[in-house]
Amino acid sequence: MLTLSDVLEALTGHRLGPNQEMVEYGPADPQPDRAKLAGAKVFGASVYGPTGPQVPVHARVINEAAVDSRQVIPGALFVALPGERTDGHNFIGDAFKNGANLALVQKDTSAQFPTIDLREKPDLAQMTLPTGLLAGAPFCLRVENTLEALQQIARFYRRKLDVRVIGVTGSVGKSTTKELIAEVLSQRFRTMKNTGNLNNEIGLPLTLLRLGAGHQRAVLEMGFYVPGEIALLSDLALPEVGVVTNIGTVHAERAGSQEEIARGKAELVESLPPAPRGVAILNYDDPWVRGMAGNTRARVFYYGLDPQAELWADDIESMGLDGIRFRLHYHNEILYMRVPLIGAHSVHTALRAAAAGIVEGLTWGEIIDGLRLSTTQLRLVAVRTENGALILDDSYNASPESTLAALNLLNDLEGRRVAVLGEMLELGRYERQGHELVGLRAAEVAQRLIAVGERAKIIVDAARKAGMSKARITWVAGVPQAIEVLNAELKEGDIVLIKGSHGLR
């Protein structure tokens, strides 16, 4: 449970003494002297409200935090972040109307709302309540930087909790891995995970502030955009288990190279505590990830398709939209598995979740029950159209690695295979190579190719060089034109894969 007292300590470094409490005066006070109360010290007196004794201000519970006033729930902390397009300071009033009892601000809001200035990290015993603050009323805390303050609060709160954190990072498959690990661990532990894309310097602190004293495990996806980001997220979350999926070319435009991406992802395993408490779960099949064993003090647990891994799989069979079958090996044990993950490449996701279950002491029965839950295929959505075509919508995002995996899935399905492939963003120096690899595989898999976006012309050229006839290829500038082409020719039995970067949606 996060309280205002915790927030104040996190932001000022000062802790309340055992006999100190913040003073809050309400309408029920017997003949209060408003002139005196306006400058009353924050600490050292009882607290009264409209119906008698009330909860002291410093004991106000902060239910969670939000940066969007529309997502505020009663009792929340609203964090006013300045932005390029919008400024959270313009929505403080909306946040208070929706029930926020506190707001972090970095601009002067004292003319509009009661505000306590914490920029000089004052001694709490010398602080005074802002003029006009009544019992139960929301107010603002002014800081130098609201994002850094949010992170400070999350860091402080995380260290109050006895919860074991499993961090997940990698170029492809992070979200599905996070979801499946959470399903597996939930078979025994009260487990929390970050939702949606709350995996960055803003989202992860918000997630940490949703943790409760009853949570035993937290599975947290950690995104990478620039060097040092995962080190920051790890410092906030204190993971004891780190899972790395793979190293690809996504975000190479920002990071510079695969080597830089690998170095950034390795910040997770570098942050882990020493063995036996710390465990790094690494993909043996990926040389970049396998090499991270030298970057950690934690125990290394390898998974993969190579028998050299501690946990490995073979006899992998894709059953199309019905999932996959494979044989799992762990030391001297062999298990025959069937899981509802789509595409043969998803065996690595299953192995990662199983590895996390093993590391956390689950039985095989618990692990298998978690793997068999069918709610973890996040990105790909299969929809049957009125004319009998099957649409595989995997358009949330795209990298060369994930697009090749999606094309491999398309290859497992029967029907006229149509690939609608958008350009892939943020590939940097790998832009041409990545699009060419996709074009070559599309020529092998699809009977029809529709390429979308300027960079997708590279896909078209590669497919043509691989022998795909011009009549089977259409290039369009944008999504509306692609929809027109599809609507004009889709028929019963067609299998349509839609894949492209999120920025094109």
Q: Say what the pLDDT of residue 72 is.
A: 95
Q: Say what the pLDDT of residue 26 is.
A: 45
Q: Which domains does the chain have, with CATH numbers?
A: 2-148 (3.40.1390.10), 161-371 (3.40.1190.10), 381-504 (3.90.190.20)
Mean pLDDT per 10-residue section of the chain, whose length is 505 residues: 88 69 46 40 34 52 92 95 92 96 95 90 67 70 97 96 97 88 97 90 96 95 91 98 87 68 95 98 97 97 98 92 92 94 89 98 96 67 84 82 84 88 85 91 93 94 93 93 91 90 58
Angle between helix 146-158 and 229-237 (nearest 10): 40
**433 phi and psi, to 5 degrees?**
-60, -45
Q: What whole-number distance in Å separates Cα of residue 431 and Cα of residue 435?
A: 6
Q: Say what the pLDDT of residue 377 is.
A: 52
Q: What whole-number distance in Å separates Cα of residue 433 and Cα of residue 122?
A: 56
pLDDT (tens digit, 9 = 90+) per residue, 299-331? 999 999 999 999 999 999 988 878 899 999 999
Burial of 471 (0-12, 13-18, 19+ CB in 10 A): exposed
Q: In this structure, are residues 150 and 205 in contact, taking their beta carbons and an 8 Å threshold? A: yes
Q: Say what the pLDDT of residue 216 is.
A: 98
Pairing of strands 279-283, 311-318: unpaired
In 3D space, the residue among 192, 257, 261, 258 whose CA is nearest the CA of residue 223 turns out to be 261
Q: What whole-number distance in Å separates Cα of residue 504 and Cα of residue 500?
A: 7
Q: Say what the pLDDT of residue 249 is.
A: 63
* CA pseudo-torsion sign 169, 181, 280, 282: negative
Q: What whole-number distance in Å separates Cα of residue 24 and Cα of residue 11?
A: 21
* Number of residues assigned to the chain: 505
Q: Say what the pLDDT of residue 321 is.
A: 79
pLDDT (tens digit, 9 = 90+) per residue, 40-69? 333 333 333 333 344 456 667 888 999 999
| CB-based contacts of 83, cutoff 8 Å, min separation 6 | none
Q: In this structure, are residues 245 and 173 in contact, taking their beta carbons and an 8 Å threshold? A: yes
Q: Say what the pLDDT of residue 134 is.
A: 59
Q: Nearest 5 degrees, angle CA 493-CA 494-CA 495?
A: 115
Q: Say what the pLDDT of residue 153 is.
A: 97
